Structure 1
Amino acid sequence: MTPTKAPTDSYFHLHLVSDATGETLITVGRAACAQYANVLAIEHVYPLVRTMKQLDRVLSEIESNPGIVLYTLVDNEIRGRLKERCRDLGVPYLSVMAPIVRLFQSYLGGEPTPRIGGQHSLDAVYFKRIDALNFTVMHDDGQMTEDLENADVVLLGVSRTSKTPTSIYLANRGIKTANIPLVPNVPLPSNIETLRKPLVVGLVASPERIVEIRQNRLLGLNAADTGTSYTDRQAVSEEIAFSRRLCARNGWPLIDVTRRSIEETAATILALFNERRRQQLAET
């Protein structure tokens, strides 16, 4: 459909209509919105829309707040009703999956078998991800270090280098991840330098960034900065220097997360992990 004239305000309404969880739409919608730094998207997310009654409530909301409509709907009748009403209202709409499914169909041939929320099936991949999440939670922040050899990835880093959120992100990809904090005057687990199976990765950031995050954390906890080494720039610099020396001595890859998002850091780790796995398979 030919889109209507763009609004002149600095925001617009983005309607995400799905018969499943809506995660695909949210990801795609936000990725597109990120290309427009000066415009704010007001998200309206409608998951599990599987009946006409549910759709009517969605359509009422779209009518009250016109904007872009993205959808993933399997049911032909519900999908047709949404498209018809969007045309009547003059709002732009798009099936996010349709162009991709058409490409698959042209290459693979035959008709697809539509399944609501098919990517969330309770299959082996799903249970592998749950297993990875359980492992990662139990091995967060230096816990249960006696069985680190069972991890896929072990993250090392000083406080505030995003070890835990990066670990959880990797676990969602099915990667069993443990993370170990590097704390001054606290010895590392005795087995850390003899690990064979896991990929060990160090995370660092600039001293300025670490100090800023730590100060903000103290403020959030209503804790006074008593001048301890936790937020002292020189002390933080020494912590980071130690982590760099440790990784260099053991040949562990080191990632500077100063200007990286969690997703970018995790993507780099996944690339290292997959390359290491390919090398291991080639050697067998």
Structure 2
Amino acid sequence: MNAEHHLHLVSDSTGETVNSVARACVAQFEGIEPQEHVWTLVRTRGHVEKIVDNIRREPGPVIYTMVDEDLRRLLEKNCHAMGVPCVAVLDPVIHALGLHYERTSAGRPGKQHTLDNEYFDRIEAMNFALAHDDGQMYEDLSAADVALVGVSRTSKTPTCVYLAQRGIRAANVPYVPGVPLPDALFRLERTLIIGLTKDPARLVDIRRSRLRVMNDQEEAGKYADIDAVTEEVKEARRLYARHHWPVIDVTRRSIEETAAAILTLYQRHRAKAAE
């Protein structure tokens, strides 16, 4: 991080939204890694005044999500006096939605984190992903919305966890050469099954790194051998083709990008099932 660049992120809730927006935007500027000052659950004048004092000591752009008009004006007024940018990132979106739906914003901090049915669905989906990680609990695999099949190190677990945050029940089923996949997988009717694949050379690099961390080089065997891994990936691809499962190559994808592709496939799958 560059001590010369400061970025203040202010939120009246958990700060997840403003943090995500800020990082997505900063990533567009090469060579800039500002020191982030994160302020969450900001709901009093005293808290805003404390933040203003910090901005004065370490000036830098301010990005915020706050709904209380008095607190917003207090923050903006002080930022204007100091000559630092102060941006309310949700305002354009809320304004556009309000015009379209002909409604007024509720103006409640953290409303997206309300303990409603959607929240509990996400918690249930998270519990499901953890319970069905790496081939566990095949007996109720039919309860999954999505089942991810892939060789080791194709990011099955983190992708399932990410999907759970979107309320999707995701299970992951490892493909291991010589080990039969569970019969329950082939009996699924409602569940969308997706095969994950990755460039063998990249897989070998990741697997060797994992073995080094585990200090388990002697047990590497075919697990990190390029020829064996190449054949392993080919076998998995042939399996996917036989069963007409959609395939996603995760070699150059982040977890978020892989999850986005899965969600698109899942929406199509649901639409087709509803026909």
TM-score class, shorter-chain normalisation, is over 0.9
Matched, 1:81 2:78: no
Cα deviation per residue 1:54-78 (whole Å; 9 max; x = unaligned)?
Answer: 2222122211221110111122221
- Answer yes or no: is 1:167 the counterpart of 2:160: yes
TM-superposed CA distance for 1:94, in Å, is 0.7
- Partner SS state of residue 67, structure 1: coil
Q: Pairwise mapping of residues 1-284 of structure 1 onto structure 2 (< 5 A)?
A: 12-282=5-275
Q: Give the letter for the 2:259 counterpart.
A: A
Whether the aligned pair in 1 keeps the contact of 2:8 and 2:60 (CA below 8 Å) is: yes
- Taking structure 2 as the reference length, the TM-score comes to 0.95
Alignment RMSD (CA, Å): 1.5
Q: Please tell me whether the aligned partners of residues 15 and 38 of structure 2 are also in contact (alpha carbons under 8 angstroms).
A: yes
Give a deviation string over 1:20-58, Cα, whole Å, max 9, x none. 011110111111112112211322111101112222221
Structure 1 gaps, min length 5: 1-8
Instruction: Structure 2 unaligned segments of length 5 or more: list them.
Output: none
1:109 Cα deviation after fit:
2.6
8 Å Cα contact 2:3-2:35 kept in structure 1:
no
Answer yes or no: is the 8 Å Cα contact 2:9–2:36 preserved in 1: yes
Q: Tell me, in whole angstroms, the C-alpha distance in 2 between the residues paired with 1:31 and 1:249.
A: 39
Moved more, 200-209 or 68-77: 68-77
* CA deviations over 1:116-157 (Å, ceiling 9, x no partner): 111111111111111111111100000001111110000011
Residue pair 2:134, 2:174 contacting (<8 A) in 1 also: yes
Give the letter for the 1:182 counterpart.
Answer: Y
Greater CA deviation, 213-222 or 202-211? 213-222
Q: CA deviation at 1:111?
A: 2.8
Distance 1:225 1:43, change over 3 A: farther
CA–CA distance in structure 1, aligned partners of residues 222 and 22 of structure 2: 43
Code of the residue aligned with 1:190 in structure 2: it is D
Report if the CA contact (8 A) 1:14-1:44 is conserved. yes
Structure 1 residue runs of 4 or more that deviate by more than 6 Å after TM superposition? none
Give the 3 Å change call, closer, same or farther, for CA 129–227 of structure 1 in structure 2. closer
Equivalent residue letter for 2:18: L
Preserved CA contact (<8 Å) 1:11 1:39: no
Taking a change above 3 Å as real, the CA distance of residues 215 and 55 of structure 1, as seen in their structure-2 partners, is same
Deviation sequence 1:171-224 (CA, Å, 0-9, x none):
111100000111122221122122111100011101111001111112222332
Shift of 1:110: 4.4
In the TM superposition, residue 101 of structure 1 has moved relative to its aligned partner by 1.6
Paired residues of 2:194 and 2:246 also in contact (CA < 8 A): yes
Secondary structure at 2:61's aligned position in 1? strand
Instruction: Measure, in 2, the Cα distance between the counterparts of 1:280 and 1:85.
Output: 55
CA distance 1:74–1:188, shift in 2 (3 Å): same
Q: TM-score, normalised by structure 1?
A: 0.93
Q: How many pairs were matched up?
A: 274
